Amino acid sequence: MIQHLKSSTVSVVVDVSSGIPTILHWGQTLAELPQTWGSFPVAFGAMDSTTPISVVPLHGDAFTGRPGLQGHRRGGRHWSPRFSYVSHEVIDDLHGTLLECVAHDLIAELEIVSCLHLSNDGVLTARCILRNVGDSPFMLDAFTVSLPLASHAEDLGIFGGRWTREFELQKFRWPYGAWTSENRLGRSSHEHPGYVWALQSGATEWQGEVWGVHAAWSANHVIYAEKLPDGRRYIQCGELFHAGEICVYAGDEFSTVDVIGVYSGSGMTPASWGFHNEARRRSPRFELSARPVHLNTWEAVYFNHDIERLKELATAGAAVGIERFVLDDGWFAGRRNDRQGLGDWWVSSEVYPDGLNPLIDHVRALDMQFGIWVEPEMVNPDSDLYRAHPEWVLATEGYEPILGRHQLVLDLWNAGAFEHVLTQLDALLRDHDIDYVKWDMNRWHVQGSNPDGKAGTHDQTVALYALLDRLRELHPRVEFESCASGGGRIDHAILSRVERVWTSDSHDALDRQLIQRGASMLIPPEVMGSHIGAERSHTTGRRHSMSFRGATALFGHLGVESDVTELRDSELEQLRHIIGVYKKYRYLLHGGDTVRFDTFELTAGAGLSHGVYSLDRRQALVAYCQLSSAVSLTPPMWRLPGLLEDALYEVQIVPLTTATSVIVPGAVVRQPEWLSEALRGAPATFTGRYLEVVGLQAPVMWPETAVLVYLSCS
């Protein structure tokens, strides 16, 4: 029984005969299917038949890789179930086609419902549900989704990183045996983002077959990529359980996380549009395309809150075009440093004797929105909340909990703790004219148990989702941002509940170029928080020009995070100019397709290029960035694939400073002719085919500079 799920760009061919679907083909579209689908040969020395790699492969079916379902009943019984077909159904919906299959094991008294959805734009989403139809508990050790890959998916691409150096893409040959990434930090982390790529060898941004897989879950997860001895390969991913964390009781059911798969036959850039489109579909308010420019107070004042100082900061921000003022950490209770106050979510009478409303009224009078920082999942031991309810922390009885950043995790699964936080945040948003909440999360889950001693990360994450959902119901106009020491909680599950994520705590434009390039493979620019920091970076100490900082921050949700009251008049004018550029083009930046380009300079680590194309491909805003000293005296050609081949594009320079003489710094006798013409106000024109095949001659540039170009055709 073969089912064919099909979009305009992707085919997914599924065998449903065993009840748990087996994907026979996931890739390029097929016009028609053969009458019989070829079977895999039986290898000498193996079993008498080759076990297919189903969505939930099983040891009981003689699958020798990692089982997708691992668990048992009391005494170790039913540890190796085997399921058979019950039914299947194909359902068309607004966004695509859903295949739902039901299988059961009458001996183990278990049932699995498998759901495969292929969207109209080719995004595959898989989720499986385990039902316990017996009369005793089933202890669940692992429950994941497996997606088989074509044999020519020879390489893997993974993301590594750390705080202030997130989303670093690493490519390597898919080894025989298994590669795995496991995250146990209680949040989707900097170190192990839950995304993986499988690539045809030699695939680039615009060439080769590419598959991307993501476990959409905001906590512990596992990604497992295995090449079997017979040459078949698959990627398996889902939630990672602590020992004894999940038990499916009689009559209950448990679901895997959504596993999202994207495919392109034309490289990584088109494949990433699948992740972007899915994030936009899940967004609580996708229609918010004109994302307001932020001014965040953290690196301007840190904990040194003073209402007159903050009013001055807001006034200066409004003068350069800031549209949203975000009050960061330090506004509440006894929070004068990072050792105290978390959990006490009321306005500090010491710092704000008349409350927050005088500051909010000042910001509103400047025609700006007002936002505020919170960290509701955490508590300091030095807080009124902890002194009153030490039993509300996610810790293990009998052990002294290990502090992280002087704080503990508040157990939101505890009904009292949940209601307490909900009540405090509801009051904060009800009593103040707040448009935006920056929701931080800074401590790992370490030995975090519920009151009954069971590992608590799964329940905590479910409670987090419930808390955000409840606050959104109570305050539907308020926007939320997910922050976790920067990019520590970025995944498609949290993106269904927030309008923005904080990409990194680093504002260093050089680091941010690479961080945002990696992040752009996963999330669209309108949710990617990107700020212009101070001239001297808070995290690295490097100094960058305003134009380079601006060119970097433009390709996201723009903000400013520095003390703008200390800027010279010339710097204020340049900042105002860059914000004006963002406002002029944000309809394109936040409504188009992100593009990345392959250049020789990029492979050598010296430069990179990226941008955004409009959906109709008649406009583009692209940047060429020189990161370090060029490898050669003459820069490479800057090729721009993916535009309309026969269209004639006008190429204009977008100045990032009001002094046009320093748009492209460099020590050369002559820059490329197209650039010289553009600077003279006579833009050159090229066909889309020329820009793809030949390209523009890249300009000679100093390290850590960028040039911004706008292309349009009538």
- The residues pairing with 211 across neighbouring beta strands, listed in sequence order, are 198, 263
Q: Which amino acid is at 518?
A: G
d(CA 82, CA 202): 39
The residue annotated as part of the active site, out of 105, 505, 508, 593, is 505
Which H or E element spans position 511?
Answer: helix 509-519
DSSP 383-430: SHHHHH-GGGBS--TTSPPPPBTTBEEB-TTSHHHHHHHHHHHHHHHH
Whole-angstrom distance, CA of residue 582 vs CA of residue 579: 5
Question: Is 440 a known active-site residue?
Answer: yes
Query: 505 an active-site residue?
Result: yes
Q: Which helix (H) or strand (E) holds 273?
A: helix 268-282
Residue 73's Cβ-count burial label (10 Å; 0-12, 13-18, 19+) is middle
Cα 705 from chain centroid?
A: 27
Residue in 435, 440, 491, 511 annotated catalytic: 440
Contact 169, 157 (CB under 8 A): yes
- Give dist(CA 127, CA 115) in Å, integer: 5
CB-count exposure of residue 308 (10 Å: 0-12, 13-18, 19+): exposed
Close Cβ partners of 518 (under 8 Å, ≥ 6 residues apart): 159, 161, 166, 167, 168, 169
**Residue owning tokens 């292309």:** 711
Residues 527/279, Cβ–Cβ less than 8 Å: yes
For 565, the 3-state DSSP assignment is helix
Residues that are catalytic: 440, 505
